[in-house]
């Protein structure tokens, strides 16, 4: 493959040819293949894309792998489709090997990818609701809310209740004891349930929502446990 546009090296083509290829790619629309990462505002600031097009000088079929990050761009092209696909996957796997954790301590993942064995996007994740918290308070024993997988294909994340000692720690979202502590309550005068008078006021209804929001903050971490990051 040859360098057409490069920030960190020297191009193997003329400036005129590079400009023509850049214009062609800008007008192509969606890439044939792509792997991207969005920033915290939902904007794509990193991408590896594979394009096919006709060379502006010879009319031959060409393929380009276009790498972009906030600081650089590297576009390589070849007339060998297999070589281009191999280079695209090589760059994606190299990028995957350098993914770490985000500012919240969650495993970084690609927002989109079509390469097997790399950390792709998570499915839509459920939120913990006030109803979940109410069910947690009402459950017998020492229950806990946790994230698990259900559905026909076993890949749909859902919030469930189980006994704390039976729930894997990494999937646990909140225990009943933690919920009571968040509410500033205890069972010293008798076991508290969601039907207790203390929860009938608007204030306490809002407190249940606040506890639910607190438990929801643990959903992403539990999802990383369920959707394991592959070993590259």
Q: What is the pLDDT of residues 171-197, one digit of tens each?
A: 999 999 999 999 988 898 889 888 887
**In this predicted structure, which of 169-173, 220-224, 227-231 has the lowest mean pLDDT?**
227-231
CB half-sphere exposure, 139, CA atoms < 13 A: 21
User: For residue 38, with 0-12 CB atoms within 10 Å meaning exposed, 13-18 middle and 19 or more buried, which class applies?
Assistant: middle
**Average pLDDT of span 61-69:** 96
Q: What is the pLDDT of residue 232?
A: 47
Q: In whole angstroms, what is the distance from residue 174 CA to residue 136 CA?
A: 9
Cβ-based neighbours of 20, under 8 Å, separated by 6 or more: 56, 57
CB-CB contact of 63 with 72 (8 Å): no
Sheet of strand 172-175: strand arrangement: 156-163, 143-150, 172-175
**Average pLDDT of span 82-92:** 97
Asked if the model's pLDDT at residue 208 lies above 70, the reply is: yes
How many residues does this entry show for the chain? 232
Q: Mean pLDDT of all residues in the chain?
A: 91
**Reported pTM:** 0.78
Asked if the model's pLDDT at residue 68 lies above 50, the reply is: yes
Asked if the model's pLDDT at residue 225 lies above 80, the reply is: yes
CB-CB contact of 179 with 137 (8 Å): yes
Residue of 174, 168, 169, 170 whose CA lies nearest to 143 = 174
**Average pLDDT of span 146-154:** 89
Collapse the DSSP code of 45 into the 3-class scheme (helix H, G, I; strand E, B; otherwise coil) and give the result. strand
Predicted confidence band of residue 161 (pLDDT cuts 50, 70, 90)? very high
CB-CB contact of 163 with 156 (8 Å): no
Asked if the model's pLDDT at residue 45 lies above 90, the reply is: no
Asked if the model's pLDDT at residue 111 lies above 70, the reply is: yes
Tens digits of per-residue pLDDT, 88-108? 999 999 999 988 888 888 888
């Amino acid at each position: 493959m040859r360098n057409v546009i490069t920030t960190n090296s020297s191009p193997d083509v003329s400036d005129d040819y590079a400009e023509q290829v850049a214009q062609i790619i800008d007008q192509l629309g969606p890439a044939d293949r792509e792997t991207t990462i969005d920033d915290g505002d939902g904007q794509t600031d990193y991408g590896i894309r594979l394009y096919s097009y006709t060379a502006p000088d010879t009319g031959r079929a060409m393929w380009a792998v276009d790498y972009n990050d906030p600081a650089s761009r590297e576009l390589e092209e070849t007339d060998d489709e297999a070589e281009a696909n191999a280079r695209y996957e090589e760059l994606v796997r190299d990028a995957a090997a350098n993914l770490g954790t985000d500012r919240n301590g969650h495993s970084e993942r690609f927002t989109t990818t079509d390469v097997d064995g790399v950390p792709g996007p998570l499915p839509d994740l459920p939120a913990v609701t006030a109803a979940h918290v109410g069910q947690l308070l009402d459950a017998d024993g020492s229950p806990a809310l946790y994230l698990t997988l259900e559905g026909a294909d076993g890949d749909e994340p859902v919030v469930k209740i189980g006994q704390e000692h039976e729930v894997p720690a990494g999937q646990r979202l909140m225990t009943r004891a933690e919920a009571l502590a968040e509410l500033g309550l205890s069972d010293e005068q008798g076991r508290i349930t969601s039907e207790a008078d203390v929860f009938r006021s608007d204030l306490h209804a809002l407190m249940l929502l606040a506890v639910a929001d607190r438990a929801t903050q643990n959903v992403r971490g539990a999802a990383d446990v369920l959707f394991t990051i592959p070993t590259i």
